[in-house]
Every structure is written in structure tokens, then in C-alpha cells.
Amino acid sequence: GTIVNNESRDIIRMFGTLARGVGSASTLCPEGLTAAIDAMITANYETVNNGVYKSGFARNQSAYEKAVSGLFNRLDELDEHLADRDWLVGEGRGTLTEADLCLFTTLVRFDLVYVVHFKCNLQRIMDYPHLQAFVDRILALPGVRATCDWTHIKNHYFWSHQHMNPFRIVPLGPRLGPHVS
């Protein structure tokens, strides 16, 4: 096949559309929730998904502090939002959607990499009870945990940005909970 897009948000939507065509009864973008899903993804993207990179690649203290403040303000909001629900969007306890997966990809790497490498160290995800439970719920879904190669994740970041880590030293820690085993 030919790569037609490299934007993760679009790729998730495309896969969801393709899955419907092969007999899948579920979708990550249920009809009636598209606007709410898109709004949640947009709200999280600048401050969380991209916020970790803005923090890590900041060129001055002011830019770093602005990025970190926005990041942790949004993490505080999300932890509170998840206090009485399982998923970000939907009625009642919510419905697993694209918005959850978009946030998960950043949260699952946060304590392993972003806290140290990108200086996002005001708190760890494990310090947010509802965000940690959210990560654990997604990792418990069939097949998800098997796609998470913790060693690869750490090695990739600590080896890829030589200007930030010139000797390519990969930290031994952190010691994390059972979700990273």
C-alpha cells in the first residue's frame, strides 16, 4: 500500500472507517459523538500531546514555563473529568473513542520519558489517580499491552535527541507500577 497520510488523528479515523467495512460492530467514532470527540482531541492536542514536545524543545525559560503550565493545568482538568467516568466522551461513564486513544499515547509514555527527558516533572501520571486508572483501563483492553515495548519507548527518545542527551544515556528508572511489566 501507499501511505496517504501521516497525521495520527486522521489515521485513527481512517482505521475506524475501514474496520466498519470488515464486520466490526464497534467504532471509535460513534455517530452522534463526532463533534464531542473532535473537541476533546483538539482541547488535548495543544496542551498535552504537543505540550510535552513544546516543553522538551523549548528554547528559553519563558517558553518552557508556558508549555509546562498549560500541560499540567490540562492534566489537572482531565484527572478531575475522569473522576466519575471511565472514558473522556459519551453519556454516563462514557464510551471508548478516538479521543481516549489520542490521549493514551502521550500518557503511557509520560512517566517513562517525558518527566525526565522533556522536563515535564511537576507531577507524574501515577500521581493523578484518575489518569492512572484511565491508562490502566486502556492497557487492560485485549492486545493493547502487547503493543507497548517499554524498552523501545525509552531507548527511542533518549537516543533520538542527541542534542538533548549527547551521550545517549538511558535512565534505569523510573520504577513504575504493574502497568509497566
The CA distance from 16 to 107, in Å, is: 22
Query: What integer pLDDT is reported at residue 17 of this predicted model?
Result: 56
Query: What integer pLDDT is reported at residue 163 of this predicted model?
Result: 92
Query: What integer pLDDT is reported at residue 27 of this predicted model?
Result: 81
Query: What integer pLDDT is reported at residue 23 of this predicted model?
Result: 47
pTM of the predicted structure, to 2 decimals: 0.87
63 — pLDDT class (breaks 50, 70, 90) = very high
Percent of the chain residues past pLDDT 90, beyond the cut: 74
pLDDT by residue (tens digit) across 44-59?
999 999 999 999 999 9
Average pLDDT of the chain, as a whole number: 89
Query: What integer pLDDT is reported at residue 177 of this predicted model?
Result: 57
29 — pLDDT class (breaks 50, 70, 90) = confident
Q: What is the 3-state secondary structure (H, E, C) of 68-129?
A: HHHHHHHHHHHHHHHHHCCCCECCCCCECCHHHHHHHHHHHHHHHHHHHHCCCCCCCHHHCH
Query: What integer pLDDT is reported at residue 174 of this predicted model?
Result: 83
Q: Are 180 and 150 in contact (CB under 8 A)?
A: yes
pLDDT by residue (tens digit) across 112-165?
999 999 999 999 999 999 999 999 999 999 999 999 999 999 999 999 999 998
Specify which of 2-6, 27-31, 99-103 reaches the highest per-range mean pLDDT.
Answer: 99-103
Query: What integer pLDDT is reported at residue 67 of this predicted model?
Result: 99
Does the pLDDT value for residue 43 go beyond 90? yes
173 — pLDDT class (breaks 50, 70, 90) = confident
- For each of the domains in the chain, give its residue range(s) and CATH number, in order of start: 8-20+30-160 (1.20.1050.10)
Q: Are 48 and 74 in contact (CB under 8 A)?
A: yes
